[in-house]
Structure 1
């Protein structure tokens, strides 16, 4: 058994303090690389091995499967012996567990399906057709964003229509009502429902809530800055009886407001729990002091934060390299050159090198360069394993076997492989099912029922095909009770004809079959008694998988990853590309102080992923969303203390690299920072650096023009009686030179935005608020 000495042997003074505080609320403010996972694992070990708390009375919740797996493994290695019942889950996994155990109290069958984004969009598209609304005018993605907003504000379908203020919102409300009805018919939930329905279960069934309160005497929540209102409320409900709630987080790393995360859950935690003990972990075991000083220089420009001064016993390290390239292609080439140098000359491992960017679209140039130069890479967030057609089809068969009410799964595979059931036949089956308030498979299984009228709606060939499909599904459902997940998968592939379909694909058959075998290998991890329950667990695991779970730690390749996806990861060398106004910070954030602060936190997260080397690149011009224009270096580069930086400027068709190393005497915390506009103004004017301020306009000012829209000033030149302003405009309008006095150009002052946020920041496009 782990002893007190064993538990404390690896901990610092503050880490010990956090581990030992076991009674009452505890807030751990954990800086990047400060060992928060170690603290949580040792806290679990201390509770179970020293305080005598049974492992099954501890609940630890985090945000990714990867983080949950790492925490569970660390805790189990410390606890040793019998650690059965130890619950380390993601929020969604925990809520799914609760609903499978007690969802019957709110009318949910334990075999419910979890609809993913594709299932949701298919369902909404069919609802729009049913309501005679054009999916091109009312994009399913925008509709789903509105429904998600409502669910995260705990507004049910019956209330939303009363709150609608526009025709589009009325449409969302109408779809929401039907969407809820059809999910219930399909015995299915979406990701938001997992949280919302678990919350509803607890609020409306005190005896159920008390059961979980008694079971979990200690509740630990990781990445607390990323929780939304429902998640915080769930944690409070679970901890209400014993008050032993420990939350770990860092407001400086709150980057998910677009997923409804609320930084105030962390910053106001002490107001909710006045007797909170707060422990700040500000010693980093990850990064060099130079990287920490650079990141701190950036994040201190935010107001909404809890102050902390990061420090480390690691060495000072190399300066942060800030580089300018001509365009995105040259940027990619230079990044790969430096990566090769790190590997060949400095013995860096490719697996410990990552290239990070703001939006998924930015990976194109890097992927092309890697392919051109033969550099192996893994792309996080590319075509995901579980989104490949052969995987989705196979999983859909298994989903329908477990949950015969799952219409989304049925529609996916009812004619795959082709068996003579046309889209028109599917429409007829769907219409009958919805008219009768039943599932499509139930209609199919009653194909010979004259009262149902299915034979009249279909031609003879289609009826025979439907009858054959009914026989297939009856057989698979029967076998699911006794067969393991692997054996059922094998039977499904054979009996359905899907195995033959894939293997007859001459172009990609071998690759697709290998993918199915990979899925089969994953299913083999869910063997055991009660095979149907294990199959449900397997399908739940598939539904809740995330991008990061596909990351291969042992692959000899560099990693291409968005800044959002990089949260929680670390690398020896990090290259942040696209460090420009309009990308980071993103153009959609510039109207709001709060949004700009979140962009700064995102930059901070990227910088603090680096252990030894940090590179930050911007381009003189960049093609983005079909247009090309001059770019302004990110304001965040100008917030890095000068003493932390060395700059490089690379000119196209030139092999020379100009390096500027700061004076050694400059103080890291000094007010003077790296000025990215120095290099930029040289590039624009092809001459000496001009003074940034001319008249009322300054470089980096956000401006608006009645014809060209919003833009950013990249140069302002006093011409004597007026100011010539060079502006980089968005929406394909490019670079314009305007005379300030007569052009109608106006400054746009940043202000607090009141509009709803529906943006997926990795895609870079906002979900529409209106058609």
Structure 2
């Protein structure tokens, strides 16, 4: 039954009432943050059902962007208006289009991760050339998937893109239309564009042949279907006589065209949105939707909701000042929100700290003080928002110190130790030669193997060029070790099961036998892993066997996938899969929350920790925006390898900086989540500076903003008990992190260092421990294998150049490479073929560079061992020769990424080699040459006494840290390429347990 309209009118403001009571024709509702837009949509549904004669519930369609938002509208409508609202359709755009397409085809849906995996498996068929990164074949695919989505968002078909490229070709053939660029640049750009057009078309054909429909294409395919099926379109227009759209600012051109078609001649289309909260530019959304609406429906009615029911006027004033810097790239630049709150309230605080640790400790202490003093009612009134999950680690430690319960939204379960343990067991069962996974398994206390024995195993495996599994196997026989026998028997038994049975049939048995089933805190995470495996088995697998799963999961991780818990224990579907933003972070569906809870007294609730994207649509009494630093918020701009050319974008484009403006809108969203108090945290030091957004606010001298330098410490900080530290031993499960955190006494005597070892330690001491102290054996990566092959081939080629240059030809170079080639170790035939082509090109480059010079070859791959400042150094110089004018030159060949002149000038390796050349070989190199084989560029450099002194100090300091057993993990961008991630404590979330998710 429809609710009492008089009662409803009494609590609605005038603009809300106008929006609800508008019936016929297009309606554009510009609804600022906290102005009650969802309520307006729900009330409008009830009003239409009551006041439009013969209107049935199934004649109303409400569309939004997440299942949770659609479910919220549905439940509110049913609760308020009873059975008449049950027939109304509340849906996401993608669910609506998928259901439409499903009725007319049998295509299976692909989320963005599975689309990446599909394309990775068909790399050779994509016929990549320019965009193929041979060391990481899948590196290009994130950008390709994103590019294809942008094409579909803008209704650009492969045929449209090919036509665009052909027009470029025609323009280049017309001299009057050419830009003033060198001819080679124009030709290279055309070749790249042709490749993009070919790959886009080929990827679409491959997916169509397999009966697959990717997430990005869902809307555009629905539009195409409606355009080609007039009868179907008329049926839908007759059924959905009134259409309502929430979060209209997030619509892209394809979604807008879908709405236009569905609205038809009736044009009963009501859209609600806020251009200042358009934060999904990477999904193709744009504030331009409002402009498009005005153009498409010139007779529309526009209503502005500007009465905010959430925040104080001071908070709104600061938020308004922040978003105003987007200047005219806003639909309504003069929009100003007014609060329904009484005057007064706290000023917005900017807290400036000396470093990130102080920021975290003060934040935790402040929350504790405000709750314990009664200033705030509960911990659950607080939300700490950050731009990316990696910024919350120091805060988690600080909250534990204070004994504050907290919940983390959208934390991946595959960062939790028990999940990582189980994944290690799966890999060890399926791939016994996987030394990293077996290392984690060996460290499980159930097998009774200790750290010193583990290190012995690793050294023997490394020395004897065997796998860790083979060494343990030998030890179990030779030493009659029952513990090693038990481990091998366990792995062997499950290996036989895994060869014959689908994973879904035996994975829970593995969990139970390993004891991963009884702990309530771990159960939800482990259940999520089980459900992930079951879903893969049922929907994505041909055999269901472990080998197939490990191949799939390897690609899944490479693509940036993560296993998370859906809210309210709902099974997460492809429709909630989050794409990547410009910072490389997975963006969750803004209304889908996953809670990870610290076990503590929950009587006062839990502090909510989440990304700003995750906070969209939520509100909290007290909001703290954390880590507002340059480079962190706004994030640094990342330019994708391929972008949709501007002429192909539909609708108006912003005139300013796309990236910064979207980040500023995201900042605005963060500020407008707060009801009563808002605190902005930053760091100001020699190395870190406050966010540009804060500096903008400082510059406009907003009277409602107060800057405070925070003290070094507080009584709460000093008195807070240390709760659980990340390095504290776990009760059970792998002890690999515990072993890694323990002081190391494994360095026998003085360490012998190499240039690469020093660079490894300086990058990450723990990586050095794993690779040089424990010496966990790793198979050579394809890039390392190629480097080894090419160094051997270059050595032979240079020797021939200096002894019998007349015998060298292109054919002999090919034969030379064949002699050194080793096919084992490459990922697939495509990678091997591309590396071989690359090898021929690089050898021909060496031939061209050296063939015109007279060289006296002095040494090739010359090994050395010497003492420098009390430290033993070892290495091997690629080449030393005497050139023109009797100059002695030292050459180092680089097969990987081309180095820069600055890198050559600062190369630790070249400095050590120059010192060895002088002290060990008695030669004074007049020049050091870093030869980039990829570009045939020889970078010349020298070393001064000051250069040697600086490196000597660095070696002494590093050796001292090693002797002291200091091998901490040092996380950074380099972790992306590190083989040791599965056993690195910096990539685990310790002390976090899961309980029933809360909304």
Q: 1:380 — aligned with what?
A: 409
Q: Quick one: distance in 2 between partners of 1:508 and 1:176?
A: 46
Q: Quick one: distance in 1 between partners of 2:404 and 2:352?
A: 22
Q: 1:348 — aligned with what?
A: 377
Structure 1 residue 640: deviation in Å? 6.0
Q: 1:18–1:39: 8 Å Cα contact kept in structure 2?
A: yes
Q: Quick one: distance in 2 between partners of 1:56 and 1:211?
A: 13
Please state whether the residue corresponding to 2:633 is helix, strand or coil: coil
Q: 1:297–1:641: 8 Å Cα contact kept in structure 2?
A: no
Alignment of 1:629-668 (within 5 A): 629-631=688-690, 634-638=694-698, 641-652=701-712
Q: 1:421–1:465: 8 Å Cα contact kept in structure 2?
A: no
Please state whether the residue corresponding to 1:596 is helix, strand or coil: helix
Change in Cα spacing, 1:373 to 1:227, as seen in structure 2 (3 Å) is: same
Q: 1:580 — aligned with what?
A: 629
1:121 maps to 2:130: no
Deviation per CA, 1:698-752, whole angstroms, max 9, x where unpaired?
xxxxxxxx989xxxxxxxxxxxxxxxxxxxxxxxxxxxxxxxxxxxxxxxxxxxx
**TM-score when normalising by structure 1:** 0.64
Q: Quick one: distance in 2 between partners of 1:386 and 1:563?
A: 21
- How many residue pairs match? The answer is 554
Please state whether the residue corresponding to 2:11 is helix, strand or coil: coil
Q: Quick one: distance in 1 between partners of 2:12 and 2:347?
A: 29
Q: 2:616 aligns with which of 553, 564, 567?
A: 567
Structure 1 unaligned runs (5+)? 395-414, 424-463, 473-491, 523-537, 623-627, 658-705, 709-762
Q: CA RMSD in A?
A: 4.1
Q: 2:683 — aligned with what?
A: 619
Q: Quick one: distance in 1 between partners of 2:430 and 2:112?
A: 27
Alignment of 1:6-17 (within 5 A): 6-17=7-18
Q: Quick one: distance in 2 between partners of 1:294 and 1:266?
A: 25
Q: Quick one: distance in 2 between partners of 1:386 and 1:47?
A: 49
Q: 1:609 — aligned with what?
A: 673
Structure 1 residue 508: deviation in Å? 7.2
**TM-score when normalising by structure 2:** 0.50
Q: 2:613–2:666: 8 Å Cα contact kept in structure 1?
A: yes
1:542 maps to 2:573: yes
Q: Quick one: distance in 2 between partners of 1:187 and 1:621?
A: 55
Q: 2:367 — aligned with what?
A: 339
Q: 2:358 — aligned with what?
A: 330
Q: Quick one: distance in 1 between partners of 2:9 and 2:234?
A: 34
Structure 1 residue 606: deviation in Å? 1.1
Structure 2 unaligned runs (5+)? 166-188, 435-495, 533-568, 577-587, 640-654, 718-900, 904-971, 977-999
Q: 2:214 aligns with which of 186, 190, 197?
A: 190
Alignment of 1:272-283 (within 5 A): 272-283=296-307
1:67 maps to 2:69: yes
Q: Quick one: distance in 1 between partners of 2:197 and 2:404?
A: 49
Deviation per CA, 1:397-431, whole angstroms, max 9, x where unpaired?
xxxxxxxxxxxxxxxxxx999799999xxxxxxxx
Change in Cα spacing, 1:282 to 1:73, as seen in structure 2 (3 Å) is: same
Q: 2:510 — aligned with what?
A: 501
Structure 1 residue 565: deviation in Å? 2.3
Deviation per CA, 1:210-246, whole angstroms, max 9, x where unpaired?
1111110011111111111111111111112310000
1:598 maps to 2:662: yes
Change in Cα spacing, 1:208 to 1:118, as seen in structure 2 (3 Å) is: same
Q: 1:136 — aligned with what?
A: 136
Change in Cα spacing, 1:609 to 1:513, as seen in structure 2 (3 Å) is: closer
Q: 2:152–2:219: 8 Å Cα contact kept in structure 1?
A: no
Q: 2:246 — aligned with what?
A: 222
Higher helix share: 2
Q: 2:52 — aligned with what?
A: 51
Higher mean C-alpha displacement, 148-157 vs 283-292: 148-157
Q: Quick one: distance in 1 between partners of 2:260 and 2:101?
A: 18
Q: Quick one: distance in 2 between partners of 1:57 and 1:388?
A: 51
Q: 1:33–1:286: 8 Å Cα contact kept in structure 2?
A: yes
Please state whether the residue corresponding to 1:497 is helix, strand or coil: helix
Higher mean C-alpha displacement, 296-305 vs 16-25: 296-305
Q: 2:804 — aligned with what?
A: none
Structure 1 residue 92: deviation in Å? 1.2
Change in Cα spacing, 1:330 to 1:516, as seen in structure 2 (3 Å) is: closer
Q: 2:148–2:216: 8 Å Cα contact kept in structure 1?
A: no
Structure 1 residue 584: deviation in Å? 3.0
Please state whether the residue corresponding to 2:61 is helix, strand or coil: strand
Q: Quick one: distance in 1 between partners of 2:241 and 2:276?
A: 30
Alignment of 1:290-689 (within 5 A): 290-301=314-325, 302-305=327-330, 306=332, 307-315=334-342, 316-345=344-373, 346-383=375-412, 493=504, 496-506=505-515, 514-515=524-525, 542-545=573-576, 546-547=588-589, 548-551=591-594, 556-588=605-637, 592-621=656-685, 628-631=687-690, 634-638=694-698, 641-652=701-712
Q: 2:46–2:85: 8 Å Cα contact kept in structure 1?
A: no
Please state whether the residue corresponding to 1:647 is helix, strand or coil: strand
Please state whether the residue corresponding to 1:579 is helix, strand or coil: coil
Q: 1:503–1:513: 8 Å Cα contact kept in structure 2?
A: no
Q: 2:101 — aligned with what?
A: 99
Q: 1:180 — aligned with what?
A: 204
Structure 1 residue 646: deviation in Å? 2.4
Q: Quick one: distance in 2 between partners of 1:553 and 1:512?
A: 10
Q: 2:158–2:197: 8 Å Cα contact kept in structure 1?
A: yes
Change in Cα spacing, 1:516 to 1:215, as seen in structure 2 (3 Å) is: farther
Q: 1:325–1:619: 8 Å Cα contact kept in structure 2?
A: yes
Please state whether the residue corresponding to 1:241 is helix, strand or coil: coil
Q: 2:629–2:688: 8 Å Cα contact kept in structure 1?
A: no
Structure 1 residue 559: deviation in Å? 1.8
Q: 1:293–1:641: 8 Å Cα contact kept in structure 2?
A: no
Q: Quick one: distance in 2 between partners of 1:264 and 1:329?
A: 41
Please state whether the residue corresponding to 1:617 is helix, strand or coil: strand
Structure 1 residue 578: deviation in Å? 2.6
1:86 maps to 2:80: no
Deviation per CA, 1:637-659, whole angstroms, max 9, x where unpaired?
326653212221024357799xx
Structure 1 residue 168: deviation in Å? 5.0
Q: 2:633–2:691: 8 Å Cα contact kept in structure 1?
A: no
Change in Cα spacing, 1:540 to 1:176, as seen in structure 2 (3 Å) is: farther
Structure 1 residue 566: deviation in Å? 1.7
